[in-house]
Amino acid sequence: MTALALIAKTQSLIAAGDIVAAEAALVELADTEGDRALMVVLEQLPAKDILAVIREYDNSRASVINLMVTPAQFARAVVIEKQYKDLSRTHLRGMVNSIIFREDADPVEFLNAIGDLEGGAEALADYFTEKWSRIEAFARSGTFDAGEDDGDILSETALLANAYVKPRVDEDEVADQDWMQLAWLLRHECPDLFVEMLLVLRAKARAHDAGQGDEAQAEEDDGKVETSDTDRGKATPAALEADEESAI
């Protein structure tokens, strides 16, 4: 089967909702023609179709798709994941953890790719939504113990200054391949993105406290807030804009 034929088949299966069969077709390509052939196909698949496959991560088995997706492909998929309106963020956290912390990956490369896209900070804020108070504590005190936080909300300038302070905990102490390690990497390896993400997270928390649900907030302003020096996500690839018109 040619690459174009496989792409058409994969997209047809995804459109029909048969994600398992779509992934199986891609896995079969890798098995028969090698990883390079799979990479060629992945490069030509729209972000929405890659997302449809990788967000169904199952930690009971390895996925060749998750192992092969590049930081740029993954970033484009992450920023449109919100279109699924999964308020539990289960799929988002699962696919982020499985790909960013895969054995051969550089997590910082993936984080930078996400941060460089419009909507990247919002996607990361969604990932941390349930951990807001502990992320605030980490931003202020350098530990995840909310009990050590005195409740002060640091300004954007103070947050950025704090992000460059030597960590109170080493990465090895929080190397859980989950939200703590991701927060540690953001603060100490991508401080601008960490601050931008936290500002968005605060806006989401305020909207929640004001009685606005996630869906209402999304309809009003898509969860975005204005930032100044930390506004990294300005790149909006034309291909991504086209992907967002898909019927997710």
pTM for this structure? 0.81
Sign of CA dihedral 22, 12, 99, 131: negative
Instruction: Tell which wins on pLDDT, 121 or 5.
Output: 121
Per-residue tokens: 12: 């047809």
Do 82 and 215 contact (CB within 8 A), yes or no?
Answer: no
Model pLDDT for residues 83-116, shown as the tens digit of each residue: 999 988 999 999 999 999 998 899 999 999 999 9
Per domain, the residue ranges of the chain are 47-243
Question: What pLDDT score does 72 carry?
Answer: 97
The average pLDDT across 215-242 equals 45
Q: Which residues of 210-229 are buried (b: 16+ CB within 10 A; e: fewer)?
A: eeeebeebbeeeebbbebee
Integer Cα distance of 172 and 57 in angstroms: 25
Taking 50 as the threshold, does the pLDDT of residue 61 lie above it?
yes
Q: What is the pLDDT of residue 243?
A: 47
Res 246: pLDDT: 43
pLDDT of 219 reads: 46
Question: For 144-151, which contacts have Cβ atoms below 8 Å and span 24 or more sequence positions?
Answer: 144/169, 144/174, 144/180, 144/183
Select the more confidently predicted residue: 219 or 6. Answer: 6
Return the pLDDT at 56. 82
Q: Is the pLDDT of residue 223 over 80?
A: no
Kindly state the average pLDDT of the residues 209-233.
50
Q: Of residues 68 and 149, which shows the higher confidence score?
A: 68
Note the pLDDT tens digit of each residue in 157-214.
888 888 778 778 899 999 999 999 999 999 999 999 999 999 999 998 888 778 765 5
User: What is the reported pLDDT for 213?
Assistant: 57
Sign (positive/negative) of CA torsion 242, 126, 172, 57?
negative
Whole-number pLDDT of residue 196: 96
Residue 205 has a CB neighbour count (10 Å cut-off) of 15
State pLDDT tens for residues 5-17: 889 999 999 999 9
Lowest mean pLDDT, pick from 76-80, 132-136, 187-191, 214-218 = 214-218
Mean predicted lDDT score pLDDT of the chain:
83
Share of the chain above pLDDT 90, in %: 54
| 60: confidence class by pLDDT, cuts 50, 70, 90 | low
Q: What is the pLDDT of residues 10-45, one digit of tens each?
A: 999 999 999 999 999 999 999 999 999 999 999 999
